[in-house]
Amino acid sequence: MTQDINGATRLICLFGDPVAHSKSPHLHNRAFERAGLNYAYMAFRVPGEDMKQATDAIRLLNMRGCNLTMPNKIAVIPFLDKLDPIAEMVGAVNTIVNEDGVLTGYSTDGYGFMKSFEEHGVDAKGKKMVLMGMGGAGTPIAAQAALDGVGEIVVFSPSTGKSWDRVAEEVALVAEKTGCKISRHDANDLDDLRAQLADADLLANATPIGMGKLEGRSPIPDASFLHPGLVIQDAIYQPAETELLKIGKEAGCTTINGEGMLFFQGARAFEIWTGVDFPLSPDEM
């Protein structure tokens, strides 16, 4: 970052835990400099239980806004004043804008994920998608996929997890709002997982399995669950090639990591904050 910091510089930040791996500060500070905007972007480690204090800080310090990553996309909602229609539908937020102390939450994750498919020449319309996980990232992905015309979404979530009942409610809401065929399945039922993947066109990983303390693990047990022609996109971008993507390559699948999602959701957030078109291209990540 080489732009000058002065008394009029507006701060935009990332709240999450962890955040040390994030590429967002590099991406957005380059974009601010390229566009000639007097903003600065920083990352702060903030666990979910501290989101009230974090949103209070946005108002107190007159920040322009922030991004949110795990585990804060759902935890932040009680402390916001408004939600955009997609964020309200999915119950998760990854972008906040501060307008004179009024905080509005937006969801750009689903847009970024589906835009990444498009950028790689994948037409998702009418296709069957198996979605692993329906939390702060998975729910926006499901909603945007449904709005974009995906033919069927099969959501896998562990029945033993705390979110099992919530996932059922979110699946029902996406179906009601979009008319998309969407169903909930138990991620512990490997026979069902294998059967659903057999005729799937798209596989989306929206779980944290493959990053951080779970690096080296995959939400899919092995390559025998996959087939050539399947397109796999992992929302994880660090590491650049997760265990899931390695397994996918072994099975002859097309694989896409999370850098495209990061870029396109970030570009959309930038435009919401600034009203200016994002000045970078994906190859400048």
Q: What whole-number distance in Å separates Cα of residue 170 and Cα of residue 167?
A: 5
Q: Which of 202, 163, 208, 213 is nearest to 184 (CA)?
A: 163
Look at the block and give the residue holding tokens 């999602």: 261
Strands 65-68 and 95-99: antiparallel
CB 204 within 8 Å of CB 233: yes
The set of catalytic residues is 73
Q: What whole-number distance in Å separates Cα of residue 45 and Cα of residue 14?
A: 8
Measure Cα distances from 252 to 13, 224, 239, 249, 255 in Å.
Answer: 39, 11, 20, 5, 9
Measure Cα distances from 51 to 45, 48, 76, 88, 106 in Å.
Answer: 11, 6, 6, 18, 16
Question: Distance between alpha carbon 173 and the CA centroid of its chain, in Å?
Answer: 19
Per DSSP, 174 falls in state: H
CB 163 within 8 Å of CB 135: yes
Q: Which of 283, 238, 261, 277 is nearest to 67 (CA)?
A: 261
